[in-house]
Structure 1
Amino acid sequence: MRSAIKFFIKYPAAVYTIMFGILLFGAVSYFQMNTTFFPVNESRVISIQAVYPGASPQEIEEGIIQKIEDNLKGTSGVERYTSVSSENSASITVEVLKGYDTDNVLEDVKNAVNSVPSFPTDMEPIVVYKRENLNFCINFTISGENIDLLTLKEIARNVERDMRNEGDVSKITLNGFPDEEIEIAFDEAALRSYGITFQQAAAAVAQSNLDITGGTIKGDNEEIRIRAESKAYTADQLVNIVVRADANGSIVYLKDIASIRDRFADNPSRTEMNGRPAVEVLVQTTDDQDLLPTAEYVRGYIEEFNASHESVKAEIVRDFSVTLEQRRDLLLSNGVVGVLLVLFLLSFFLNIRLAFWVALGIPISFLGMFILAQFFGITINVISLFGMIVVVGILVDDGIVISENIYQHYESGKSLTRSAVEGTLEVVPAVLSAILTTVIAFSSFFFIDGRLGDFFGDLAFIVIATLLISLAEGFLFLPAHIAHTKLKSPQAKKSRLERVMDNIMEWLRDKLYSPSLRFFLKYRLIALSMFVGLLLITVGAIRGGIIGLTFFPFIEQDNIEVTLSMPAGTREETTQKWLDYIEEKALEANVALTEQNIDTSDIIVNIQKTVGPTTYQGNVNIILLDSERRSIRSAEITNAIREAVGSIYEAENLSFGTSTPFGKPVSVSLLSNDLEQLENAKNELKANMADIAILRDVIDNDKEGAREVHLTMKTKARLLGLTLQDVLGQVRQAFFGFEAQRLQRGQDEVKVWVRLEEEDRKSIYQLEELLIRTPTGDAYPLRELAYFDIERGTVSINHLDGQREIRVEADLADPDESAPAIIANIQDSVLPPILAKYPDVRASFETGQNREAAKTQKSGKLVFPIIFGLMLLVITFTFKSVLQTATLVPLIIFSFTGVAWGHFLHDKPLSLFSFLGIIALIGVIVNDSLVLVGKFNQNMKEGMRFDEAVYEAGRQRFRAIFLTTITTVAGLAPLIFNKSFQAQFLVPMAISVAYGIAFATALTLVLLPVSLSLLNDFRRFLHTAWTNERVEKEAVEPAVKAYRNEQEHPDLQ
């Protein structure tokens, strides 16, 4: 290290060359980095999708889901799997354990699916794929007055085609219209009059509408292909299909026995924007695309579209690029203010030239980090930007310690070059250990499981990379800069400002700190009792609810989603009526909310309504005024709209709020294969949760289905040679329909459905009178062949790891309330009597926010002890004393006091983000502690008496510790005190670091010297107990022993 420092001092041109290279390549790397909203991570989700037209959820469960789930059991790398059996479709989601290669697990899952012996014959091929990470970019609607849905769809298709061809837009999804289809609806009376069966007519359609190649005529000079082109693509082209032709010339055309029409499918998927029919255009980006230019292109396209169209209008619903730019600008502005505060404080309390060189390390470190970040695929996102703010204050710590120590050597009369070399080398062990412990502390984020680990891995990379670049800059470049700087002679007269700042620092050190340290070193138990007492009061305040505690902090949103679920079988018109009612009440609430807002603009900007995916489900997406322009939190707006809407007596589920990446704050899964017990347990749990005052919108995912007709074969049917499959097959063709063909019409795949006319399938009576053909060709009414039972069916069946699951979830009326306390109450008081009553039911909290919290805690219990042990190992190598290392542990524990009361002062609950901030705090505490203990050991080696060595170590390192504290706090202060809603989810972590280090300064400057003194007493006690000899304080100190050993054995140095 000495040689490297001397080299760069001797050849400053090398320093400037390397710095220029870092600045150049760092700037280039920054502009090549993609911008995303959240960090980019590899997908760890595998989807299995199956379509079985006309099948009930029970058929899907028994015929598809259970077979696949049985084969998935024991698959390596699978964390868990969930499934939904719905009408016509099956969906299984497989989550991959962190650390496993998703592509390898995907192959294992495919093998498990392929090894299922048999699936239903009418099922479409199963699709198994790794779910692609798609990032929401922007969505907008296209709407117009008096424009039909088909025209809107055609316009939207043109928009989609334009954006794909002209812009860098790869993922576009259109919503707001059902699939197109051609319906051939047979008239039952016409079929009878012509003596044609349903099956004969359907076969005629399938066999006539074809393009067929008949071979090739190979002549001497050319080859001529033989083709029959009779394929029709629209309803008008199908009407003249010949169903039957007799020898006497009688022809029955399709139009004679059926109505043929182009139409939208029955499944609803309709959207309205501010009361007008609309089609939604959703634009997403992949992980390798930049969100900002994509959104900019789309906004430009919308402007051109609106300028060139009068009858239709494109309106932006949500634009994540705006939110991202706001947060980016917010974080950058706070970061710039933090850097300026750091520079201001450094220049006041440190020599102005030293302050400049220390501050220069900030851009060098950041630009060096950008080179590494671009290489490793890190993006510019809200988490990585926050990491830059966190590291600003920490970044200059090593520079302050090094430059301050160099200056102390210079003040002692040494030359500037010698001071640069010796001053740097003296603090190398402490600074290196401090940076390494901080790096180790932040590296724990890489091993945290769940979404939090995915999110904060970027933050850890930013901090670690920046600190490592800063370390190299501090050890090699900073001494060279200072060595070639014209510093004033220690004897030279200082400026008035320098004298003022020196007087302030001396007053803080000599008049305030030094007497306090003398007092506490004399009355050590008072100091210890004081900090222990504060910690106990803090724990009591948390347990008593004075300081809040929750899993995740409230994250401000710019939209509110109202989700409505009516009883299964409810007609689309009824669902639409209630969605209109919700919109009306929301607009009424908007009037009162706008009057309370600091801005005169409406709180509600747009309202988007959607019916679907079934006739009885829908949602209202309420788009709010930008959070920077309103003084009312979205949680308060949500409560106001909830109160205005009130209850909808027919609704099965009605919830208000916004989905988050971490799920609902309160979520309980009930698991059992005993369906009756499961249903009863669910009802009782919902009733109990509804009585908890702080909970709102208690919902479940178990929906009662529409009424169903269950058919049972009569003996007559079997005597006639009919099987249940024969009967249900004919019923299915008539009422559900028979898919005769699929046609490719532009970008749409259009299915041709053959079924009875709607007028012939509107009642149970018509079902009873449906003619069923026997193998001999005779026809009998269905009522003569089967018994009829009418029961309620099931909408969907949910599984969790192969067991039936019903999930009960709820939101908090106040997002700052303690979710853990509510969950503990449910777990300890609400559930036990329910589970005792229904012994086959099991409850799990491995869902929602609690699951993410549990995953973080579980991985943390494994990771944090290892990380903490590695940190202590590094410190032990530096101190060469296990007991001295142990003195740092109480500092880390007691620093929680500052963290907790910092949250109390800012009216914030402690959350997982707060505890992740404590990890960052540990590195800073260790940094300051190493500096002080390192100086104490140096004082002991130089022959000071123990009491003076402890006292002087505090005094001599006061400036460095004080400066590292105020620069760290100053770097985070703009973010902590920023009232912007956009910054609030980052504030808990910033509070933990800032208030924790502020309190830890008192711990380092007071409790650490006291601990060293108490440790010395303990050492002397052990020595006396072992040898029966009393010794001086200095004799038992490791530093003194090491120094004597070096003198006695110089060859070991």
Structure 2
Amino acid sequence: ILVSILVLTVGLMKMTKFQLFPDFDVTQVYITGKVNINNDLEDTEKVVSKLEQDVLKHIDPKEVSSVTSVIGMRLDAKNHAEIGENLFHIFIDLHERAPDNFFNKYINPYLSLDYNASILSRARPAEAIEKDVKEWIAKTKASEKAFEEVVVSKPQTGVVAHDIEIALGGMEDKKLLEGLEKLQKALASIDGVSNIANDAEIGEKELKIKVNAYGEELGLDEQQLSNELRALYLKGEYGKIFNSSGLVRMRIESTQKDSIASIKNVEVHIPNSDQKIALSEVADFIFQQAFVTISKDDAERIRTVTASLNKKKNTSSEVMKKLEPTLDELKANGYKLTIKGEEQENAKTQKEMSQAGLAAIFLIFITLVWLFDSLKNSLIVLSTIPLVFLGVLVGHMIMGINLTMPSMIGVIGLAGVVVNDGLIMVSFIRNAKDVETLMRKAKTRLRPILMTSITTVLGLSTLIFFASGQAMILQPMAISLGFGIIWATVLNLLYVPLFYAVSHRIKKV
């Protein structure tokens, strides 16, 4: 029996997926992006207003409560603000989800003091609304050339900003871009991967004007060139007048500002003289294009690829396994890889949970030895802890939920519950000298153990079967405890007395 339970447990563990936190519905959808960098706030607002009108035209008032736009700023997945006159962020606020199960429809209204049915009008999850918004926006983006980037997303649940986050380093910028492209293609070929992006944003082409040797001999420097060119090529305010409509600002801008040829023919003053000279004779013109931002890790430049996952299709661990050939190829080519995101947190969480579990088992074992003054009896009770994990796995499979960090917290709590029932059972049967006496004493614990288990499972049932909204983050913990207690009850009523009789060689009279 012991071997079969362990084999079944190991088999189910290989079949069960793990993710850091369970997915739950959110109440916002984001539209973020940028227009051409040459647009100011007013220009950006005019372009973004087309997106706003498109969203307002399609939204269902029963699903969306408000639409708010911010021009000049956008938030990334980590809620860090990026400032720029060509950036925008549209917040689509959703109504709370309508009741979708018996408990929330008919029981919760009478139990909750602040229940308000009028705001619970949204029938669809945020994921479905996000998909619709992407379709609407795609048409607007295609018709408006000013948009350089438009991303539709929903807030990421859990402690990580991205499900997949892989940083590349150890190469020059051109090679890093090639590595990013290869990695993004590999991610795009995997089912369930979406919102693939990187932080290697290329800036606008820049013209750098550097004083040459001849210009330096004449006494010119970059500051003087800057002062003379600023008046010609930057929009400047040169006066104010009043008319019937109010204050009017007079702004002047060169009609040749976009012509590269015109700047070469500009004449600048030679210091300490009344003469002028062509800019092309005293300066070198250098065109360059660089990244908008520079990211470093341990003093080394890195570029990062990020992506979101549909956990029902693929978890972060499964995606990383499918990426192994691509990652191995990049390593062989000299790239330095840093795995971040959920996979990094998964490894950290599993390590910490394993350490916490081992510490808990050790402390429980010391306590049992002290109580029983018997190593054999202590091991009998302690042996139920790994066996009870079968109930946890079966419970998650029945509910169709992946194992998560809250699940593992529930397992650690479950260890204390199963040991408590086992301790009481062994305390009652340890003086039995024959099978008949052992059975009689074990039966006396039937009702107390059943009553304790039934009341505990009933108390957890609403969270197991009727969790909704953000309460779903606790559902895996309740599943671990509830289904684990059911299986622990079977173990304590059957396995513990049987194992005790075998280990102590108790026979019939």
TM-score category, normalised to shorter length: 0.7 to 0.9
Task: Choose which of 802, 809, 812 in structure 1 pairs with 2:299.
Answer: 802
Tell me: CA distance 1:774–1:915, structure 2 relative to 1, closer, same or farther (3 Å). farther
How many angstroms apart in 2 are the aligned matches of 1:532 and 1:780?
Answer: 89
SS at match of 2:400: coil
How many angstroms apart in 1 are the aligned matches of 2:284 and 2:461?
Answer: 76
How many angstroms apart in 1 are the aligned matches of 2:169 and 2:231?
Answer: 37
Residues 877-1026 of structure 1 correspond to what in structure 2 (within 5 A)?
A: 877-937=370-430, 940=431, 944-1017=432-505
1:831 aligns with 2:327: yes
Task: Choose which of 577, 596, 618 in structure 1 pairs with 2:88.
Answer: 618
Task: Choose which of 626, 646, 650 in structure 1 pairs with 2:138.
Answer: 646
Q: Report 1 or 2 for greater relative contact order, CA contacts < 8 Å, sequence distance ≥ 6.
A: 2
Q: Hey, what does 2:65 align to over in structure 1?
A: 605
Q: Which amino acid is the alignment partner of residue 294 of structure 2?
A: I
1:714 aligns with 2:206: no
Q: For residue 624 of structure 1, report the CA deviation from its aligned partner.
A: 0.7
Q: Hey, what does 1:693 align to over in structure 2?
A: 191
Q: For residue 541 of structure 1, report the CA deviation from its aligned partner.
A: 3.4
* Matched-pair contact (CA < 8 Å) for 2:168–2:336: yes
SS at match of 1:984: helix
How many angstroms apart in 2 are the aligned matches of 1:815 and 1:581?
Answer: 35
Is the helix fraction higher in 1 or 2? 1
**Runs of 5+ in structure 2 lacking a partner?**
73-82, 99-119, 237-250
* Matched-pair contact (CA < 8 Å) for 1:635–1:815: no
Q: For residue 531 of structure 1, report the CA deviation from its aligned partner.
A: 2.6
SS at match of 1:703: coil
Residues 320-359 of structure 1 correspond to what in structure 2 (within 5 A)?
A: none
Q: Which amino acid is the alignment partner of residue 645 of structure 1?
A: I
Q: For residue 767 of structure 1, report the CA deviation from its aligned partner.
A: 4.5
SS at match of 1:609: strand
Tell me: CA distance 1:575–1:669, structure 2 relative to 1, closer, same or farther (3 Å). farther
Residues 674-689 of structure 1 correspond to what in structure 2 (within 5 A)?
A: 674-689=172-187
How many angstroms apart in 2 are the aligned matches of 1:850 and 1:695?
Answer: 15
**Percentage of pairs with the same residue:** 24
SS at match of 2:59: helix
Residues 105-184 of structure 1 correspond to what in structure 2 (within 5 A)?
A: none
Q: For residue 960 of structure 1, report the CA deviation from its aligned partner.
A: 2.1
Tell me: CA distance 1:726–1:573, structure 2 relative to 1, closer, same or farther (3 Å). closer
Residues 766-915 of structure 1 correspond to what in structure 2 (within 5 A)?
A: 767-768=263-264, 772=268, 775-776=271-272, 780-813=277-310, 817-826=314-323, 828-836=324-332, 838-839=333-334, 841-846=335-340, 848-915=341-408
Tell me: CA distance 1:771–1:963, structure 2 relative to 1, closer, same or farther (3 Å). farther
How many angstroms apart in 2 are the aligned matches of 1:720 and 1:681?
Answer: 47
Q: For residue 560 of structure 1, report the CA deviation from its aligned partner.
A: 0.9
Tell me: CA distance 1:733–1:552, structure 2 relative to 1, closer, same or farther (3 Å). farther
Tell me: CA distance 1:571–1:669, structure 2 relative to 1, closer, same or farther (3 Å). same
How many angstroms apart in 2 are the aligned matches of 1:930 and 1:615?
Answer: 68
Q: Hey, what does 1:762 align to over in structure 2?
A: 257
Q: Which amino acid is the alignment partner of residue 963 of structure 1?
A: M
* Matched-pair contact (CA < 8 Å) for 2:164–2:343: yes
Computing the radius of gyration from Cα coordinates, the structure with the larger value is: 1
1:611-635 Cα shifts (integer Å, max 9, x gaps) = 3222443222111111242332212
Q: Hey, what does 1:743 align to over in structure 2?
A: none
Q: For residue 816 of structure 1, report the CA deviation from its aligned partner.
A: 6.8
- TM-score, normalized by length of structure 1? 0.40
- TM-score, normalized by length of structure 2? 0.79
SS at match of 1:968: helix
1:91-132 Cα shifts (integer Å, max 9, x gaps) = xxxxxxxxxxxxxxxxxxxxxxxxxxxxxxxxxxxxxxxxxx
Q: Hey, what does 2:123 align to over in structure 1?
A: 631
Tell me: CA distance 1:681–1:574, structure 2 relative to 1, closer, same or farther (3 Å). farther
Tell me: CA distance 1:835–1:540, structure 2 relative to 1, closer, same or farther (3 Å). closer
Q: Which amino acid is the alignment partner of residue 689 of structure 1?
A: L
* Matched-pair contact (CA < 8 Å) for 2:192–2:313: no
Residues 510-589 of structure 1 correspond to what in structure 2 (within 5 A)?
A: 527-542=1-16, 548-566=17-35, 568-569=37-38, 576=45, 579-587=48-56
How many angstroms apart in 1 are the aligned matches of 2:355 and 2:232?
Answer: 61
Tell me: CA distance 1:712–1:932, structure 2 relative to 1, closer, same or farther (3 Å). same
How many angstroms apart in 2 are the aligned matches of 1:732 and 1:1010?
Answer: 91
Q: For residue 702 of structure 1, report the CA deviation from its aligned partner.
A: 1.1
How many angstroms apart in 2 are the aligned matches of 1:852 and 1:730?
Answer: 55
* Matched-pair contact (CA < 8 Å) for 2:19–2:346: no
Residues 432-451 of structure 1 correspond to what in structure 2 (within 5 A)?
A: none
